[in-house]
Amino acid sequence: MLLCLVSGILFFNACSKKDRIPGNGTVYNPTFLTLQLPAGWPAPAFSIFAANPLTEEGFQLGRKLFYDGRLSRDGNFPCASCHQQFAAFATYDHDLSHGIDNQFTTRNAPGLFNLAWMRELHWDGGINHIEVQPLAPITAPNEMGEQLSQVLQKLKNDTGYVRMFKLAFEDGAITSQHMLKALAQYMGSILSYNSKYDKVKRGEANFTLSEQQGYTFFKAKCETCHKEPLFTDFSYRNTGLTLNTFTNDFGRMRITGNRADSLKFKVPSLRNAALTFPYTHDGRLYTLGQVLDHYRNTVAPGPTLDPLLTGGIPMTSTERGNLILFLNTLTDTVLTKDPRFAAF
Amino acid sequence: MEKATRYRGWGLLFTATILLGTACSKKDTPAPDEPVGVVTLSFSHTVKGVPMVLNGPAYTNALGETYTIRKFKYYISNIVLGNGSVSDAEKESYHLVDQASTASLSFNLLPKVNSYTTLSFVLGVDSLRNVSGAQGGALDPLNDMFWTWTTGYIMAKMEGNSPLSNQPNNRIEYHLGGFSGPHSVLKKITLALPPGKTLDVRKGQISAIRIAADLDAWWQQPNSISIAGLPICTTPGAQAKAIADNYAKMFTITEVINN
């Protein structure tokens, strides 16, 4: 009897959307959502939800997956272990993050927000679509260390997931594609646009004089790369940080195979910068002050150094102080406390 | 669109029940009665004309280097049957051909009734699918043909061992991919049917094309590949492209069967 029921669901549900077996709470009838873009922002160049319609059910499934340790081999390393909401989804206070078996990642974990605008992911831009990004941490031996097939088996053994996949996807199948699309719905929905800076832009708050002076300096010297309102132009640049000889990380060159891309890394967004310390691709700089001191004093010359940074960016101590005050206005505590993105 | 519907309709009849879900869930209009036939495409793998055996005998390449084969698989996509100005393209045309899986070595096409003289396909997965996010079916990353550090499919994979390899356990590994730029390994391959032969697709009939792929082609022409010099090639680039230029020539049609 049960078998009949199960196969009935499997084979005929898709055809007869209206007459479901009542009472099991697995009717596919999703609530479609539209991602509300902050007013005045440029529309993303492509929609990450075009082939992955955003639904409340898909989002909630993605949220559960993001916080679930079972996506890792030993159960201890969910996505959220390295991407913490209170740190704007970066790893708080870690140059490199802890992965499975007492290992470390080889790069600093960036914050996760406004990914809907980001065509290429990772410091070297090696990932070309948000949906396939999770395959990297899940299978990396120094991050979550798990096989995709094992993850799917664990999900299939959990009746909670069986139900949630049915609610989120028309055929209800627990497949890698559906898991990845759900994660993309969750991550792609995380927006950061409620910092003091944004409120100033909307006329809801005012900069202090120092913050304003920091902003003016920023517009003059930093804006080309850290372009508003996203605070990145999504390009890859060499900012004169010398090669990390421990990780031998040449950045973008690994992806393009082009020498001209040696030591170039993606321009990170500076939103929530006060929370995402330590800084740069390998977390070598601990404070914003140290980052500014790098721009001021230690920009290393080299064939691929960005021309904008030849000779560094001179600044007085006052300018340095004002810049830090300005960068602090980019912290978005609405995001870091939003219950919608919190642990499932 | 009409074609898509037609293919799905026939999929119901000819392939596994998995398709049933898809057929039902997409609210397409019922298949119009366009006549289609069935063509079974089958692949056999050889090395210098001798049937390939995985984990079996040692083979010798053009440079006299010996090696054994543990894995041999590749993607075939965008299959088109043609005859002059007439052509028929398979929809959702993605197939993983894997020497280790007998079931993967043959599959059915459902082309429009016609007589065809050419078969063309892409060896690999077209660039669009490499940039379109999570895929399913043959393109599921579960199939172990997907890079996670730089997005993209491994179009063809060969692994084995060779005494000439300086790698741990004398391993040799060729994971060939890269879908854009000067080092793209994507190859469009067009095979003409034997002279005077046509593939006759008739309603309700099953015809067949048998294809042989000879791995020996990987090592030579136009590029001489030495195992000692290149025991491992697992990133996109000039070396992968050099092997792809060779393997583009590995296919021949051995038989066309009309019923």
CA dihedral A182, A185, A188, A193 (to 10 degrees): -140
Half-sphere exposure of B246 (CA within 13 A, CB side): 22
Round to whole Å and give the CA distance between A49 and A44: 11
Contacts of A12 in chain B (CB under 8 A): 24
The partner residue sitting opposite A128, judged by closest CB among B22, B141, B151, is B151
The Cα of B57 is separated from the nearest Cα of chain A by a number of Å equal to 31
Q: What is the pLDDT of residue A2?
A: 37
What kind of fold does domain A2-192 have according to CATH? Cytochrome Bc1 Complex; Chain D, domain 2 (1.10.760)
The partner residue sitting opposite A129, judged by closest CB among B22, B132, B183, is B132
User: pTM for this one?
Assistant: 0.89
Q: What is the pLDDT of residue A344?
A: 78
Question: What superfamily would CATH give domain A197-328?
Answer: Cytochrome c-like domain (1.10.760.10)
What are the tens digits of pLDDT across the range B36-58? 999 999 999 999 999 999 999 99
Round to whole Å and give the CA distance between A282 and A266: 12
Above 90 in pLDDT, residue B1? Answer: no
The Cα of A138 is separated from the nearest Cα of chain B by a number of Å equal to 9
Query: Within its chain, how far is the Cα of A79 from the centroid?
Result: 11
B118 membership: H or E segment, kind and range: strand B118-123
State mean pLDDT over B171-177.
Answer: 98
Helices then strands (H, E): number in chain A? 13, 4
All CATH 1.10.760.10 domain ranges of chain A, comma separated, are 2-192, 197-328
Q: Is A42 helix (H, G, I), strand (E, B) or coil?
A: coil
Q: What is the pLDDT of residue A46?
A: 87
| The two structure tokens encoding residue A76 | 């201890």
End-to-end CA gap in chain A: 34
A14 pLDDT band (50/70/90 cuts)?
very low
- The ipTM assigned to this model is 0.85
Residue B152 bridge partners (DSSP):
B147
Q: Closest Cα to residue A71, out of A80, A59, A84, A60?
A: A80
What are the tens digits of pLDDT across the range A200-249? 999 999 999 999 999 999 999 999 999 999 999 999 999 999 999 999 99
| The two structure tokens encoding residue B119 | 């078969």
Sign of CA pseudo-dihedral B111, B114, B115, B119:
negative
Q: What is the pLDDT of residue B28?
A: 42
The Cα of B39 is separated from the nearest Cα of chain A by a number of Å equal to 27
Judge whether B228 and B165 are in contact, CB under 8 Å. yes
What are the tens digits of pLDDT across the range A109-121? 999 999 999 999 9
